[in-house]
A and B are shown apart, each in its own frame.
Chain A
Amino acid sequence: MCDLKRTLDATGHCVLEMPSGTGKTVSLLSLIVSYQQFYPTKRKLVYCSRTVPEIEKALTELKRLMAYRVECAETEEQKEKERNFFGMGLTSRKNLCINPEVAKEKKGKVVDAKCRDLTNTAVCEKARADPGSVPICDWHENLGQLEPGSLIPSGIWTLEDVLEYGREKVICPYFAVRRMLAFADVVIYSFHYLLDPKVAEQVSKELSKDAIVVFDEAHNIDNVCIESLSIDLTRPMLDSASRSIVKLGERIDEIKTTDAAKLQDEYAKLVEGLQESEPSDEDAIMGNPVLPDDLLSEAIPGNIRKAEHFVAFLKRFVEYLKTRMRVLHVVAETPLSFLQHLKDITYIERRPLRFCAERLQSLIRTLELSRLDEHASLQKVAGFATLVATYEKGFLLILEPFETEAATVPNPVFHFTCLDPSLAIKPVFERFSSVVITSGTISPLDMYPKMLQFTPVVQETYPMTLTRNAFLPLVITRGSDQVAISSRFEVRNDPAVVRNFGSILVEYSKTVPDGIVAFFPSYLYMESIVAAWNDMGILNEVWKHKLIFVETPDANETSIALENYRRACDNGRGAVLLSVARGKVSEGIDFDHNYGRAVIMFGVPYQYTESRILKARLEYLRDAYRIRESEFLGFDAMRNAAQCVGRVLRGKTDWGLMVFADKRFARADKRSKLPRWINQYITETASNLSTDMALTLSKLFMRTISQNPNENQTGVSLWALEDIEKAQAKQKALALEAEQRAGSDDEYGDGGFSDNALMDFELDV
């Protein structure tokens, strides 16, 4: 908290690592809220988390915190002030829609499109002029009748609360939250709303500069940055885009005959310049994929101002991309060379290309197209065009005709990848004065400032004080038969390795109570190993002791499996959950207490090193930031591993086993990349074990840990108020003493006699 305060006062950025399950979120929130409430300037807090469950959790914590503050406020005035505190969370339309017609859709994109069809300004105006002519959303309409600025009463609103309120008052929760963002003291939403320019443009534009930005669970922030500036194009996408272009053309012809004035009007507007046609941001159809600083504030070039010209322009561009995709060998080139080639073949210049996305947006609005999800591919192509024409450095174009080395049927993918995570986050650092990056596992700390190109004021990792060793990390390097185990690509499908991995699971399912979570390095490996285990009869052994749940490709299905997993753990039947280290489950789901008594990490979760994108990124990191390839790969793998195993602990009475099953975890360079709070508990003996030795240790550990957990920790690892005061007093005393010492040092510093000594001297004169 002190460090955080320092950061806030200094209006700088900081990186903090706090062990998971020690109340990270609530300590952050409580300090920042106090800070906000204390200073009259009311800096806004923007709290970014990674997943919706985490957002909801953070909101709940905030709600709890505010309830406490209201309770503790001394005067009625202060109470009122606390009550007026306003916090809420934002998520997508899909999660917040309560219009039954729209909400039943499965895909977020379709929900977005349908919602826009019912709520955009044109439709609303038409409906108001002539009620009943077009379907509109009642929930959205009701919002308009309320006074803006008081759509939702102040207080803390979790996503669930907002939904409930919306249902009750028949107003649209999504737009209510969107419109109230400007009034909120705390906004909690996902990284993307701040980092992805396509979304940030619409949502986060109005945030003031002095806002405090917190990135929680930020260990993957660089990937989010990169993803938000990268686009992949595939053949089916291009086909769909050209279909959309044809449709656009037809629509233009149609409008020309019925309502030519409209097009003329648009043309006139474009001539005057884009800025005047600024639409209200709720209507924004697709954000510009380019960062705000790189936006051109010029008028759209003449050759694409006319609608039919623009359509022809798009058509040419798509055809060009299609021909590029026919190539059967891998191509990697810089955006500059791509543009040169493009110009040589199709005479498309760079400048109009930059305006592609904007122009498309304007055209779609003019044409009043509905069901935008059908035109998603075209939007993507336009975004691609804009990006490719805007950026030169830190980006690469890669064309991969085949998915894998062995594939014979071409399935070309055109990657436009961002290699530099600092690009996307730069505006955030520049715009906001305090940015806090925190997570349970962001070791080594210096990596993040290096990658994201910022200079932190404070950079700190906190240890965990425990009255007992609440978790036992074990590194298993070989099976009971002494065969080394590893998920290295060459040996991972070796029957001996598969069997040894299996026997670890079987043995642990026999000995560990309640829940066990096992993580694999990739989906591909998990799926093949599950099949292999089934054939070898290993899973039959596991069935005897525990139920088995597996992460599936479908998110909803997996959620249901998770829910059942929890029931099985609660019931005492016990269960095993097999999932993937970078997958859906590994992010944002806690396996605390009986939900995870052991986490087994099968193999080191390296990225797919054969991937050309990764190779390009590594090269870039090496050239630009002097980060060695192996160092980055190891760092990336270990932060994911730590993230997985770190989810077992929550609170100090909790306990769990952390099993790292791979030969390579024994190496010092890997272990050193684990967060300190995990690493300090790995003993020398526990760092190189065979399965049976590890089991013996685990049994021993479980016997000791299952003793009385209710021993009084107060004063040892928990502090009551008096303890804190005592510690503070001690600190103060120490500081005072040091000061005094410093003072007395000064006194004798010159080595001479003090004045007093001289005065006492009797001079014989």
Chain B
Amino acid sequence: MPAIVCTAKASCKKLPGTLELTDTHLQWTQEGKKAPSIRVAYAEANSLFCSKENAPQVRLKIAPVGNDAGHNFTFTSPQPIAYQERERFKKELTAIIARNKAVTPNAPTLALSLPGGPATPIPSLPSTPLPLTNGGATPKLSAAVLPSRPATSRAASVAASDRRGTPAITGNDPATDFRLRKRVLMNNPELGTLHRELVMTGQISEAEFWDGREHLLLAQAASESQRRGKPGQLVDPRPETVEGGEIKIRITPQLVHDIFDEYPVVARAYSENVPQNLTEAEFWKRYFQSKLFNAHRASIRSSATQHVVKEDPILDKYLEKDDDGIEPRRQRSEKPELFLDLGATSEDHGELTVERDITMQAGRQKGAIPLIRKFNEHSERLLNSALGDLPPSKRRRLDEEYSQIEIDDLRDEGSSNGIVLEMQDRERYFEGSMAGNANKGNVNGTPLDPRAIVWEAKNSLNDWEKNLSQLKIDRKPGDSALLSMTQNVAARLDVRSRKNDIPAGLFREMTTCQTAANEFLRQYWSATLPQPPELQTAATATPAQRASKAVKMIGYLSKTPEKVQALVDTATASGLDASRVEVAMKPVLDAVNHALVFHRNKEAAAAVRRGR
């Protein structure tokens, strides 16, 4: 039974009921019903709206991801109480939503890779020494709290772009490493809890905790090092019309940067004129009124607006002729790959002696040609900004010529090498099987005669139809099977219908105990079992270290039964059925015992070996 953070009476769709905030879900139960009819998981909560402070009805609306309609709740308690209740919900939910927003741009699926254990996220983590800015950030509790998604994502991308240079490999720079770890913990409340319980209490060290979880750090580093690409759109500042017929264009540093990037000629004009001849504001004002701007606009309507445009002695100098000829004004010297060289075809045979009809003559629409050229250039620039300029050596790939003509599905698939089975004591296995075979041969005396076997099999299949029709199943086993199935179903139903009444505190303790044990187990096995080859990095611990770690973990694990016993005792003390707690903790105990036994055997074997 999940812990309830707060509850209140509230109606939804005019039906009275109870609104509850548990530590995983926000749920609403209609009066008289047992199961909640609305459940919103924390991770789904997307936005929250509240009614005004002095409105007659106290309302709260929550919208989960992918459902903008959301759910409307009206608090039905008398006025001052309702308001207080609402405020409480609002505070909790705001924190949750803020955390969701912070998590989503990064890696929302990271939680999947965690070891098992019930989810125990805690809304805020006050005891963590790590500064949790996101969790604590409960921005303005005004009438509508809706942290805007673009804003956060932008912020994240800016932050990411700062660290563009950091390598994806963790552990090089302690500061980066620490920051990464912090981020992973913050994005994963469950992992954060585990970390707090184990590392903060000093049970295992920080390094041990992260051992085997490197992939989380790597994923985090990778997602952070992703650069946001340039937006694809053409730079086309659309003027807004303000009252009074004036036209306004908002100039942002981003826009200025884009314009300079897109039109180097403007950058040149700017650098040549701005401090000396014109002020910055004046420059932009004149630019947006100039012919230059209209020539740059991604529109062929610019010819229509020509008459509005003023002559500008300074900027008109930079005006270039329209690039609307059949041949581009700027000839490109580079030769494309021969497989794509269209020019080669047109020069392949003598010039055409006939002209194509007018619809097929390219470049008849003078207005569209500069536009088309601009598209191509813009796309190329975008590509180059992402990939870097095309290296000239790549232009003519001679060695790859076959790749152009090959149809890959006509190739034989290369058979994979498969994974080599590594066996301990290979010789013994083979010897054993050989010996077994030899024995068998001895027993039979003669090699097997396949014909005889087939004959035998055939004989045994004779009259199978008759045999089958004679086959009768005894009534009793059938009945008993059915009975056991029914019982099984009944038992399940029983379990399901039984009310989950373990008190929240105990439940939480049980979960903690279990996750902790799980972590110890994980540490133990990772220290004991041979490591997968691909994970063998430089940082791999030496055998001695691993052995000592295993011993330490065993030490912790051996205490687990005591802890479970303590839990059982608490349960009995609070008047609960202790057996249920025992049942719940049994898998953990079994696992722990298995580890303990394994360890003991290993120790014994080692002792024997030493004794020899």
List A residues at the B interface (Cβ < 8 Å).
21, 23, 26, 50-53, 56-57, 60-61, 64, 91-92, 94-95, 106-109, 111, 158-160, 164, 190, 192-193, 196, 198-199, 227, 230-232, 234, 376, 380, 383, 403-404, 413, 415, 417, 521-525, 527-528, 530-531, 534-535, 539-540, 543-568, 571, 573, 575, 580, 582-585, 587-589, 607-608, 611, 613-614, 650-653, 710, 713, 718
- Rounded to whole angstroms, the CA-CA distance of A604 and B176 in the bound complex is 60
Min distance, Cβ B93 to any Cβ of chain A, angstroms: 33
- Rounded to whole angstroms, the CA-CA distance of A548 and B382 in the bound complex is 11
- The proximity string for B residues 354-378 relative to A, scoring 1 for CB distances below 8 Å and 0 otherwise, is 1101111111110111011101100
- Rounded to whole angstroms, the CA-CA distance of A36 and B334 in the bound complex is 40
The chain B residue with its CB closest to the CB of A651 is B407
Residues from chain B with Cβ under 8 Å of A193 in the complex:
349
B300 within 8 A of A: yes
Min distance, Cβ A227 to any Cβ of chain B, angstroms: 6
Residues from chain A with Cβ under 8 Å of B335 in the complex:
556
Given contacts A108-B346, A573-B229, A614-B357, 17 further A-B contacts (CB under 8 A): A57-B405, A95-B348, A106-B331, A111-B347, A523-B360, A524-B360, A531-B367, A534-B371, A539-B375, A544-B232, A555-B346, A556-B331, A556-B335, A560-B376, A568-B383, A583-B360, A588-B345
The answer, among A413, A567, A585, A587, for a CB contact under 8 Å with B387, is: A567
Q: Are A546 and B232 in contact (CB under 8 A)?
A: yes
CB-CB under 8 A for A53 and B341, given A527-B365, A552-B376, A582-B360: yes
- Rounded to whole angstroms, the CA-CA distance of A585 and B342 in the bound complex is 7
- Rounded to whole angstroms, the CA-CA distance of A219 and B382 in the bound complex is 38
- Rounded to whole angstroms, the CA-CA distance of A558 and B375 in the bound complex is 12
The answer, among B229, B347, B355, B364, for a CB contact under 8 Å with A232, is: B355
The chain B residue with its CB closest to the CB of A22 is B407
B469 within 8 A of A: no
The answer, among B298, B326, B386, B409, for a CB contact under 8 Å with A534, is: B298
B343 within 8 A of A: yes
The answer, among A563, A611, A614, for a CB contact under 8 Å with B340, is: A563
Residues from chain A with Cβ under 8 Å of B390 in the complex:
563, 567
CB-CB under 8 A for A192 and B348, given A607-B357, A651-B410: yes
The chain B residue with its CB closest to the CB of A561 is B376
B584 within 8 A of A: no
Q: Are B371 and A159 in contact (CB under 8 A)?
A: no
A and B contact pairs by CB, cutoff 8 A, 25 listed: A23-B407, A91-B348, A94-B347, A107-B347, A108-B351, A109-B351, A190-B349, A528-B365, A534-B299, A534-B371, A543-B232, A547-B379, A549-B379, A552-B362, A553-B327, A556-B342, A557-B332, A557-B376, A559-B336, A567-B383, A573-B229, A580-B362, A583-B362, A585-B342, A652-B407
Find the residue from A61, A528, A564, A585 having the highest chain B CB count within 10 A: A564
Q: Are B372 and A53 in contact (CB under 8 A)?
A: no
- Rounded to whole angstroms, the CA-CA distance of A609 and B146 in the bound complex is 60
Q: Are A51 and B379 in contact (CB under 8 A)?
A: no
B337 within 8 A of A: yes
Q: Are B343 and A556 in contact (CB under 8 A)?
A: yes
Q: Are A552 and B369 in contact (CB under 8 A)?
A: yes
The chain B residue with its CB closest to the CB of A56 is B338
B413 within 8 A of A: yes
B402 within 8 A of A: yes
Q: Are B349 and A199 in contact (CB under 8 A)?
A: yes
B252 within 8 A of A: no
Min distance, Cβ B407 to any Cβ of chain A, angstroms: 4
The chain A residue with its CB closest to the CB of B330 is A557
B430 within 8 A of A: no
Q: Are A562 and B345 in contact (CB under 8 A)?
A: no
Q: Are A51 and B348 in contact (CB under 8 A)?
A: yes
Residues from chain A with Cβ under 8 Å of B371 in the complex:
530-531, 534
B446 within 8 A of A: no
Chain B facing A: main interface SS: loop
The answer, among A231, A555, A585, for a CB contact under 8 Å with B343, is: A555
CB-CB under 8 A for A568 and B405, given A52-B341, A192-B350: no
The chain A residue with its CB closest to the CB of B403 is A60
Min distance, Cβ B133 to any Cβ of chain A, angstroms: 32
Q: Are B368 and A559 in contact (CB under 8 A)?
A: no
- Rounded to whole angstroms, the CA-CA distance of A545 and B387 in the bound complex is 17
The answer, among A64, A575, A613, for a CB contact under 8 Å with B379, is: A575
Interface residues of B in 548-600 (CB under 8 A from A): none
Residues from chain A with Cβ under 8 Å of B402 in the complex:
60, 64
CB-CB under 8 A for A564 and B379, given A527-B368, A713-B409: yes
Residues from chain A with Cβ under 8 Å of B326 in the complex:
553-554
B239 within 8 A of A: no
- Rounded to whole angstroms, the CA-CA distance of A291 and B191 in the bound complex is 85
The chain B residue with its CB closest to the CB of A111 is B347
The answer, among A106, A417, A584, for a CB contact under 8 Å with B354, is: A417
CB-CB under 8 A for A52 and B379, given A232-B353, A525-B359, A559-B343: no
Residues from chain B with Cβ under 8 Å of A588 in the complex:
345
Min distance, Cβ B214 to any Cβ of chain A, angstroms: 27
CB-CB under 8 A for A650 and B407, given A192-B348, A192-B350, A555-B342: yes
Find the residue from A108, A227, A553, A558 having the highest chain B CB count within 10 A: A553
Min distance, Cβ B582 to any Cβ of chain A, angstroms: 47
Interchain residue pairs A-B with the least CB separation, the first 3 = A108-B347, A553-B362, A192-B349
Min distance, Cβ A67 to any Cβ of chain B, angstroms: 9
Find the residue from B335, B350, B373 having the highest chain A CB count within 10 A: B350
Min distance, Cβ B372 to any Cβ of chain A, angstroms: 4
Q: Are B352 and A571 in contact (CB under 8 A)?
A: no
The answer, among A234, A540, A565, for a CB contact under 8 Å with B233, is: A540
Q: Are A92 and B372 in contact (CB under 8 A)?
A: no
